[in-house]
Chains A and B, each alone.
Chain A
Amino acid sequence: GENVEQHPSTLSVQEGDSAVIKCTYSDSASNYFPWYKQELGKGPQLIIDIRSNVGEKKDQRIAVTLNKTAKHFSLHITETQPEDSAVYFCAASGNTGGFKTIFGAGTRLFVKA
């Protein structure tokens, strides 16, 4: 089955700096890669996603890149703000896995004011 690895587990940045979180996946048939933000005591909230037919997608301060050949995808947050502090999860899914969403281990992002 699919396995998603995520790094780093913890990331601390200064307000205004950029943050990058990287993930790799194992199943070459996976074709949908969402990123979720989870705040304490709440369910994950989708912040951006990318499909395998696209290499990059951007939404304001958030961008995601995908390298299908290397099976890598990354989240980039620019001009970080304290309210960006949360746990971020990458995930992968595809039809061979029954469209189950498999999550990475998560990255705890701290943005220092």
Chain B
Amino acid sequence: GAVVSQHPSRVICKSGTSVKIECRSLDFQATTMFWYRQFPKKSLMLMATSNEGSKATYEQGVEKDKFLINHASLTLSTLTVTSAHPEDSSFYICSARVTLNTEAFFGQGTRLTVV
């Protein structure tokens, strides 16, 4: 299947700083990527839909100024957690599809720890 690469896999940052997570589709172009957040032993919660060349669509309750999404090219979407706080610590996962109604391929996830 298609490969989605996410970087970094782990990051530790201090409170108040910002962290950028990259999601790349390695062997296909993705006009749409999705960002999820997962708490320990919980399911994946959709945060936002990232659209190439346009603004992201955020799910209800997700702060767009807190979680900045940029989808600058057909193979790269980034999620920036701004002014991070310990409660932002979580596992963040991206996914991408070749076309909208086909299977979604997931990145390996990023474990963010804010200290």
Contact = CB atoms under 8 A, between A and B. Distances in A.
Interface of A: 31-32, 34, 36, 41-46, 49, 89, 93-95, 98-106, 108
Interface of B: 1, 4, 6, 32, 34, 41-44, 46, 49, 57, 93, 95, 97, 100-101, 103-109, 111
Given A31-B101, A42-B109, 19 more contacts: A32-B101, A34-B103, A34-B104, A41-B111, A43-B108, A43-B109, A44-B106, A46-B103, A89-B44, A93-B101, A94-B101, A95-B101, A98-B49, A100-B46, A101-B34, A101-B46, A101-B104, A104-B43, A105-B43
Given A41-B109, A41-B111, A46 B1 contact: yes
A99 B105 CA distance: 13
A39 B6 CA distance: 16
A54 to B, nearest CB: 14
| Secondary structure dominating the interface of B | strand
Nearest to B10: A41
Contacts of A89: 43-44
Contacts of B106: 36, 43-46
B55 to A, nearest CB: 14
20 contacts: A31-B101, A32-B101, A32-B103, A43-B4, A43-B93, A43-B106, A44-B106, A46-B105, A46-B106, A95-B100, A98-B49, A99-B32, A100-B34, A100-B46, A101-B34, A101-B46, A101-B104, A104-B43, A106-B42, A108-B41
A46 B104 CA distance: 8
Looking at A94, A103, A104, A108, the one whose CB has the most chain B CB atoms below 10 A away is A103
Contacts of B6: 43
B93 A99 contact: no
Contacts of B46: 100-102
A98 B1 CA distance: 22
A49 B108 CA distance: 20
Contacts of A94: 101
